[in-house]
Amino acid sequence: MPSRNGRDTTREHLRVLADSLASRGVDVEGVVARLKRQEVETPSWGYGNSGTRFRVFGQPGVPRDPFEKFEDAAQVHRFTGICPSVAIHIPWDKVDDFGALQQHAERLRLRVGAVNPNVFQEEDYKLGSICSSDPRVRRKATDRILECIDVAKATGSKILSLWFADGTNYPGQDDFRDRKHRMEEALLEVHRALPSDMRMMLEYKPFEPAFYGTDLYDWGISLITCQKLGPQAQVLVDLGHHLQGTNVEQIVAILLDEGRLGGFHFNNRKYADDDLIVGSINPYELFLIFCELVAAEQSEDARVRATANAVAYMLDQSHNIEAKIPAMIRSVLNVHTALAKALLVERGALRERQLTGDVVGANSKLVEAYETDVRPLLARVREELGCPDPVDPLGAFLASGYLAKIAEDRKEGVAAGWS
């Protein structure tokens, strides 16, 4: 726990900040309420061993099964207060009894989040999964996805999250349009199998491992495909899945306007799909993305507002050299910080400057919010959520002894990982 002096200092900073925000017309209590409602889903695979294309790097204390992954995820939720769900990957997280996994999650005050099928890590998928020219392979991949719908039903999950490594490496390797038609045929079957209260989210990526033509290569083809499939299909935006210089916040705005933004895989990148800690390279981009999301939440357009309020916030990261749980906590804190700053944008003043062509003035309203120190505000939120140390969640976790405990408890057995 923070010292009494530390808590008193934070409260004094909060009082000063609240007075400043109130003078700018910011509804402080509304901001606090919104921050308390925020949820960020962590990925089960982010707690296991991972690495580069050259090597998987092992760490002490890594979970040996999905049950232990949820135990680690519970620590992230305990110290941040906003991570009540965990995404799972099938077959990486396959268990004999998914009801038992769901009950285990509930005992930890968690729930099973998005279900992700793995249709890229078997020999059959060398030339693609649902886009393969081999009908046997397409059937196998489609059946795996349908299996994940059954897993979602068994665990109470409402999201099917789809990413495909499908593509070609050389000109002439396969027919582009044929691959598109195969993909649509398989996904239509999947969409028809969805329960009425479940969404499927279609992720895209410009390249890797397909280096000539990727079948779902950008947000446009993902959007077109979702529009063909039906109302339960939405686009998933992974922040690392864009070419250099892409304006991700503009993509977010357009998908919101089309009612097709389903969710995010938050991470960060310097070059390509680096899967780094959220906000570690470009925190301003993260802030601008949240500016679009907050604007949509407050939109006069009911459809846009409903889309924004249903967005699934999920992490998708590869902690290759950093400790798993601390990296996850840092990412969650960075997401919460970006949202807090976006909530402080004076929308009325910003709109006035936009409509009058005041370029510098409009940009200044964003910069003003971005440069605001929101740590006291977030400390209040975490205190009201019951976190052990509202001021320094990461420091509190590191001092808790949990890492040493799992390193000792999990010495035997095989650690979970990509392979």
Distance of alpha carbon 414 from alpha carbon 391, whole angstroms: 36
231's CB contacts (< 8 A; 6+ apart) are none
Domains detected in the chain: 38-326 (3.20.20.150)
Task: Supply the pTM of this predicted model.
Answer: 0.95
pLDDT band at 280 (very low <50, low <70, confident <90, very high): very high
The predicted model gives 335-363 an average pLDDT of 98
State the average pLDDT for the chain.
96
Report the pLDDT value the prediction gives residue 4, as an integer from 0 to 100.
61
Report the pLDDT value the prediction gives residue 19, as an integer from 0 to 100.
85
Distance of alpha carbon 367 from alpha carbon 170, whole angstroms: 45
Report yes or no: 270 and 276 within 8 Å, Cβ to Cβ.
yes
Distance of alpha carbon 42 from alpha carbon 48, whole angstroms: 12
Report yes or no: 268 and 274 within 8 Å, Cβ to Cβ.
yes
Burial of 279 (C-beta count, 10 Å sphere; 0-12/13-18/19+): buried
Distance of alpha carbon 164 from alpha carbon 203, whole angstroms: 8
The predicted model gives 251-270 an average pLDDT of 98
Q: Is the peptide bond before 91 cis (omega within 30 degrees of 0)?
A: yes
Report the pLDDT value the prediction gives residue 340, as an integer from 0 to 100.
98
Report the pLDDT value the prediction gives residue 136, as an integer from 0 to 100.
98
> Comparing 47-51, 103-107, 287-291, 379-383, which segment has the lowest mean pLDDT?
47-51
Report the pLDDT value the prediction gives residue 127, as an integer from 0 to 100.
98
The predicted model gives 108-121 an average pLDDT of 97
